[in-house]
A = this chain, B = another copy of it.
Amino acid sequence: MRQVFHDELEQVAADLVELAHLVAGAIRQSTAALLDADVQVADAVIAADQEIDRRRNELDQRSIDLLARQAPVASDLRTVVASMRISGDLERMGDLARHVAQVVRLRYPENAIPDEVRESFASMGRAAEEIVARAADTIRTQDAYGARAIEQIDDRLDELHRDMFTQLAEGTWQHGTTRAVDAALLSRYYERFGDHAVTIARRVGFLVTGEFHPSDDALDVDDGV
C-alpha cells in the first residue's frame, strides 16, 4: 500500500517536472513571437496553454484522489499539498506566456515593441526561460538550496523590469502611450513569471523542511511595480 502510494507521489513529481518543461517551452516561444512579431508562433503558444491547463486539472484531480484514498500525514501530506500549489503556479506561468502571445497577436502585423527595447525583452525572455528550467530542477531534485539561484535570476528580472520603467519615463520614450502601456504590461508579465518561480522554490523548501510561509507568495516576492 505505502509502496503504491510512494510510486504515485513520484509520478506526481515527474508530471510536475514535465509541466514545468511545457511552461518553459511556452515562455521561449512567446518571447520568440514577441521579438519577431511572429503571429503563427503566438497562436501556437495560445493553443498550447489549453494543454497546460488540462494537465494541471488532471494532476490536481489525482492529488485530491490521493488525499481521499491514502489520507497521508506529515511529510507525505505536505508533498501532496505543495504539489497542488506548484501546479497552480505553473499554470499561472503558462497564462503569462499566453498573455505575451496575445499582445503579439493584438498588434500584428506591427511589432508590439520598438527596436529600442528589443534587447531588454530578449534578456527578460532568457532569464524567464532559465528560471523555469531551474524551478523544474528544484522540483525534480527536491533541493531546497536551488532557491538561492532562482532568487538571483528573479532579482535580475526585477532589475530589467525597473529599467524598463526608466525607459518608459517622460522625455525618454519616443513611441507614444499605446506602446508604452504594452511595454509596461509585457515587462510586468515577465517579472511575475519570476515571482512564481521563486514561490515554487519556496514550496519545495516547505516540502523538504516543513516550513513555509504562504505569504511569501506575494509579500516578499511581488513588489507590484
Contact = CB atoms under 8 A, between A and B. Distances in A.
A4 interface: no
Contact of A178 (B57, B67, B92, B168): B168
State the majority secondary structure of interface residues on A.
helix
A202 interface: no
Interface string A38-70: 000000000001100110110010001001100
A217 B85 CA distance: 13
Contacts of A214: 53, 56-57, 60, 88, 91
Q: In which size bucket is the chain A interface?
A: 35 or more
A25 B81 CA distance: 30
A215 B68 contact: no
Given A214-B57, A215-B54, A219-B49, A68 B74 contact: yes
